[in-house]
Amino acid sequence: MAFGRTLRRRRAQRRLVTDWNDLSARGGRVGHDLVGWVMWDERAKAGLGELGFPNTGVWIVAWRLAGLGNTPHPVAAAMTYSIHPGFIEAIRGTIDAVTTNDAVLAVLDGAIVPGLESIVPGLAADLGDLADDLWAGVDAMFHGMRPFFSAFRARPRPADRHPGLSAWHAINCIRELRGDNHWALLASEGIDDVEAGLLHSAMVDVDEYGSEEWIARSRGGDDQSVAAAWSRLEARGLANDGRLSDAGRALRLDLEQRTDELTAPVWQAIGETATVKLLDLVEPHQDAFVQRIDETAGPRWMPAVRPGGSAVV
């Protein structure tokens, strides 16, 4: 009898153990939902045009580069990792030529709450209730080798204007933390920018994307660089005849799981109660965020928010 009670108690305890890696994966997806739509937001693009940008489509990257301050473009390209350095140089040059980093980031701030309200009315206010918990998690993280995370964490916090905007900025920091962690893992595996795009096809519905090259090409890969990347992956047994091999897909899935693990500490610092509340607030509306991206950017863009996608840009 005593043994039976002990066994039942141990089983109950195991059920109560929090799966932080699962919460980290879900949190990554939620963070991408809350941030991804703004990269094509019409209000923000219009604001960028008012600053003098001739091509407002570069908003997708401009606001993130502005968050890095006056970082030289080769360094910024290293931080963005999978985006062609030529794109980074051109966008950084335009910011310097026509406006300031602070002006670009003011456009961002002006777009967040109205944009969220237009997608999910009332969500911004609900997020505001979690701002303190989210920032507590952000502030508990070590800065080393996390450049985007550290840059955005260091910026002034807008709590006095709108708690929901403050919460959004904390979530953006967590998203950048996950991205920094992911790129560090890819670098440790010797995976370059174009190879990263090809490997990412393991995370999406290839039939929807048309080929395993779409993501790499969307980040600036051309025929020559894509062909060379396939050759390098094939030499490592990660691809065969211009398609990922089982080993290549397994590596990409493993990298995703390791990214979840590396990012789990921020959710632990936020705490289970606040983390689950955030997930409960956002997960029911994931289709609405995908729909907004479809409306403003078109299908396929932001693969991380789509079925089978990962939570990394």
228-243 pLDDT, tens digit per residue, is 999 999 999 999 999 9
Q: What local confidence, expressed as pLDDT, does residue 150 receive?
A: 98
Q: Which two tokens stand for residue 38?
A: 């703004």
Count of residues in the chain = 313
* Residue-level pLDDT at 301: 79
pLDDT of the residue at 2:
55
SS3 for the chain, per residue?
Answer: CHHHHHHHHHHHHHHHCCCHHHHHHHHHHHHHHHHHHHHHCHHHHHHHHHCCCCCHHHHHHHHHHHHCCCCCHHHHHHHHCCCCHHHHHHHHHHHHHHCCHHHHHHHHHHHHHHHHHHHCCCHHHHHHCCHHHHHHHHHCCCCCCCHHHHHHHCCCCCCCCCHHHHHHHHHHHHHHHHHHHHHHHHHHCCCCHHHHHHHHHHHCCHHHHCCCCHHHHHCCCCHHHHHHHHHHHHHCCCEECCEECHHHHHHHHHHHHHHHHHHHHHHHHHCHHHHHHHHHHHHHHHHHHHHHHHHHCCCCCCHHHCCCCCCCC
Predicted structure pTM score: 0.91
Which pLDDT score is estimated for 14? 47
- Backbone phi, then psi, for 276, in 5-degree steps? -65, -35
In this prediction, the residues of the chain whose per-residue pLDDT falls under 50 are 3, 7, 13-14, 309-313
Q: Is the dihedral of CA 255, 258, 260, 265 positive or negative?
A: negative
Contact 266, 174 (CB under 8 A): yes
- Under 8 Å between Cβ of 185 and 255: yes
Which pLDDT belongs to residue 209? 81
Residue that is written with structure tokens 């691809």 in the block: 239
Q: What is the pLDDT of residues 255-294, one digit of tens each?
A: 999 999 999 999 999 999 999 999 999 999 999 999 999 9
Q: Give pLDDT, residue 300.
A: 74
Which of these, 138, 168, 165, 133, lies nearest to 154 by C-alpha position?
138
Q: Which residue's entry shows tokens 């968050």?
A: 67
Tokens matching residue 215? 């993501």
> In the chain, what are the domain boundaries?
34-173+285-303, 189-270
